[in-house]
Structure formats: C-alpha cells, structure tokens
Amino acid sequence: MKRLRKIDARVSGKPVTAQEILKVFKDTLNFIQTQHNRFLVPDDFMKDHPERQKMVEYLKGLSWRGTESGAAQIAGVSLRKVREWREFEEFADFEELANEACTDLVEETLLYSAYATGDTRKIEMALKARRKNYNERLELSGPKGQPLTFNVILDSVPRPQRLED
C-alpha cells in the first residue's frame, strides 16, 4: 500500500491527515453496511414473487436512505417498478415499516449527536419527535379537539369618562 501523505484539510484549525480521512470513510461505509443489514425482512415475504430479492433490497435501502429514489437506486429498479409493487398489500405494509425504521434511525442519530455535543436544541428536537405532547407552549382546545368557545360580558367593565377642564 502506498504511504499516505498529509493533505491540506483542516478541522478546527488543525491539519487532518489522509489516514484520518480514510478512517472516516471506512467508518462511514461500515455504518452504511450496518444500517443496510439492520432492517430484517422475513423469509416468507413475497415468497413466490420473481422480483422478491429486488423488493427486499429496496426495503432495506429505504430503511436507512429514507427516500424512494435512493432506495430504488440501491435495488437497481425504477420508481415506476416500485409503484407497481405497491399494488401488493404485503409490500405496501413492509414499505411503511421501512419508513418507520428510517425515522427511528434519524431519531437515534439525532440523539447520539445531541448527547455527544450537549446541544440542547437538538435534545429538545429529539424530545419533540419522541413525545408528541412535549411542547414549550400549552394549547387548549374544546371537546374532541374543537376550538374553545367563550363569552365576553362587558356589563361590569367601567366606561371611560371624559375629564372636565
């Protein structure tokens, strides 16, 4: 292997070596592979469908890429093909699960980042995502979420009087 030379990249004003950049790339690829294999599709999913393997690759890709086009690229299929697959209820159900898995991953990444940096704004964002009722303001509503109704009675409010010169 060729000896890696120092390159002129800086993080917080300090030079970064090619070895450090290579480590980041390797760690990133490792993370991607781990996330890709994280979403499990049962062996009996669309068992007899001729495009089952492509469907599984799409679902796994969707679970960590988070976009239909990114997942379709991973599976090597068109978005039109994905739309055709959605006609199968089982596929549509698993696509929803893959989307939820991606949301979980985003939350995990946000929480990890918040913990690592102590960024209170990120922690607040994570709390809001996890607890729908976590909010810095309080909203009131009437029965069944309808707007509150109230009457304002002005009988007892004193009327301003004109001051005499």
* 70-94 per-position pLDDT tens digit: 999 999 999 999 999 999 999 999 9
Give me the percent of the chain exceeding a pLDDT of 70: 82
Q: What's at 36, amino acid-wise?
A: H
Q: Where are the beta strands (DSSP E) in the chain?
A: 9-11, 14-16
Q: What's at 7, amino acid-wise?
A: I
In three-state form (DSSP H/G/I as H, E/B as E, the rest C), the secondary structure along the chain is CCCCCCCCEEECCEEECHHHHHHHHHHHHHHHHHHHHHCCCCCCCCCCCCCHHHHHHHHHHHHHHCCHHHHHHHHCCCHHHHHHHCCCHHHHHHHHHHHHHHHHHHHHHHHHHHHHHCCHHHHHHHHHHHCCCCCCCCCCCCHHHCCCCCCCCCCCCCCCCCCCC
Phi-psi category of residue 164: left, alpha or beta, with phi > 0 → left and psi -120 to 50 → alpha: beta
| pLDDT surpasses 70 at 6 | no
Retrieve residue 82's tokens: 């994905």
| pLDDT surpasses 60 at 11 | no
Per-residue pLDDT band for 124 (boundaries 50, 70, 90) equals confident
Q: Work out the average pLDDT over 147-161.
A: 73
Retrieve residue 126's tokens: 């994570």
Q: Can you tell me the distance from the alpha carbon of 7 to that of 15, in angstroms, rounded to the nearest whole number? A: 8
Which tens digit of pLDDT belongs to each residue from 33-77? Answer: 777 678 889 999 999 999 999 999 999 999 988 899 999 999 999
Per-residue pLDDT band for 8 (boundaries 50, 70, 90) equals very low
Per-residue pLDDT band for 2 (boundaries 50, 70, 90) equals low
Average pLDDT, the chain: 81
| pLDDT surpasses 70 at 136 | no
Q: How far is CA 106 from CA 109, 129, 151, in A?
A: 5, 10, 46
Confidence (pTM)? 0.61
- What is the predicted pLDDT for the residue at 12? 56
- What is the predicted pLDDT for the residue at 55? 97
